[in-house]
Amino acid sequence: MLVVRPITMSDYDALHTCAVESGHGFTSLPVNEELLTNRITHSEYSFSKPKVTEPGDEGYLMVGFDSKSGEVAGCTGIEASIGWDVPFYSYHISTIVHSSPKLGVNNVVKLLTFGNNYTGCSEICTLFLRPSFRGGLNGRLMSKCRFLMMAEHPHRFSKTVFAEMRGVSDDEGNSPFWQWLQEHFFSIDFTMADYLTGIGKKGFIADLMPKLPIYINLLSKEAQEVIGQVHENTKPALRLLEKEGFTCRNYVDIFDGGPSVECDMRNIESVRHSFRAKVSIAQHSSSQDYLVSNTSFEHFRAVATKAAYDQASESVILSPEAAEALQVKQGDYVRMLAQ
């Protein structure tokens, strides 16, 4: 059984493995000991921070581990409110019209405008599941456990939730979008720019990025074609978020042109349709799959399991194994989402 819980410093080696396996373009998991250690430390601080009444600088990083072997299968995270301490940059795609009735000319063109439009929003991020664990409900659990957390503890998160999707790059980490920017404005390759951003050294962006809007039709054909497109490995994650109600509002990543998708937290499908139930612990024969989390924040746990839910009594029968994984006992409450 895969169990999601807050990361601890003892998970460093596993997180480093995830960083290596995630490959180029996965900005939030650079292969850097200092940054990974700082993320774990900050997450431990965030989960233990008392009396949080509104989203702030908290960053919640979690791991999924196999309950039998203890092996870490992947990671997932939420940034409660981004852009306050370190700027968060993106491009917005807008449309303008160049028109001259006298000449009979009417051209519709698109622009990329540099900005910080997601400042203060919550970001779901750092979702990575190792290849050997990509089966069953594991992917859904690693993604949707964050929405169970939001539904149970909404005051810790912002009204708008967004995700930055990985854009198109090749096996060597080359991005067609970045290659055009590099040629005209930068002197460093995509992997270095991506790495510097991942370790928090974003000053070069503000220094070198063009401040005025960029006409998309002036970019190379290769760069134009990947704007708003996702990496092949990211397509399943995008489809899952689209089913949750996330949509692209014409914001794209400044490095690889990948889309950002967003949704009002209250309208996320898994937030809307999750519910609480009182726990009974016993063996059962139910065939219904659920994602289930406990109601603790500091000691958050989530699993995918079969459970027997009774709507009339608003109670659920969990197996002893599931109850142990969730750290709940008879009479406690859990939050559930049918699959």
Residue from 231, 273, 284, 299 carrying the catalytic annotation: 231
39 in a structural domain: yes
Q: How far apart are CA 329 and CA 327, in angstroms?
A: 7
105 in a structural domain: no
45 in a structural domain: yes
Are residues 152 and 33 located together in one domain of the fold? yes
Given a cut of 70, is residue 58 above it in pLDDT? yes
Query: Phi-psi category of 271—alpha, beta or left, where left has phi over 0 and alpha has psi -120 to 50?
Result: alpha
Task: Quote the pLDDT of residue 196.
Answer: 65
Q: Per residue in 252-299, pLDDT tens?
A: 998 889 999 999 999 999 999 999 999 999 999 988 999 999 999 999
Are residues 248 and 265 located together in one domain of the fold? yes
Are residues 187 and 278 located together in one domain of the fold? no
Q: Per residue in 158-189, pLDDT tens?
A: 999 999 998 998 877 778 888 887 777 766 66
Q: Domain boundary at 224, 239, 270, which?
A: 270
pLDDT band at 200 (very low <50, low <70, confident <90, very high): low
Are residues 150 and 192 located together in one domain of the fold? yes
107 in a structural domain: no
Give the length of the chain: 339
Q: Per residue in 6-31, pLDDT tens?
A: 999 999 999 999 999 987 657 678 88
Highest mean pLDDT among 29-38, 103-112, 285-294: 285-294
Distances (CA, A) of 19 to 26, 63, 171, 236, 261: 8, 13, 15, 19, 23
Query: Residues 304, 267, 252, 37: what is their CA dihedral angle, to the nearest 10 degrees?
Result: -40
232 burial level (CB within 10 Å; 0-12, 13-18, 19+): exposed
Given a cut of 70, is residue 190 above it in pLDDT? no
pTM, 2 dp: 0.90
Across the range 138-150, mean pLDDT stands at 97
**Annotation marks residue 231 as catalytic:** yes
Q: Per residue in 302-325, pLDDT tens?
A: 999 999 999 999 999 999 999 999
**Total structural domains in the chain?**
2
- Mean pLDDT over all residues of the chain? 91
Are residues 252 and 312 located together in one domain of the fold? no
Are residues 75 and 188 located together in one domain of the fold? yes
Q: How far apart are CA 183 and CA 68, in angstroms?
A: 51
Given a cut of 80, is residue 204 above it in pLDDT? no
User: DSSP character for 311?
Assistant: T
Are residues 225 and 279 located together in one domain of the fold? no
Are residues 236 and 310 located together in one domain of the fold? no
103 in a structural domain: no
Task: Quote the pLDDT of residue 336.
Answer: 98
Given a cut of 80, is residue 201 above it in pLDDT? no
Are residues 172 and 216 located together in one domain of the fold? yes
Are residues 215 and 237 located together in one domain of the fold? yes
96 in a structural domain: no
Are residues 169 and 287 located together in one domain of the fold? no
For residue 9, give its domain range: 2-91+115-270
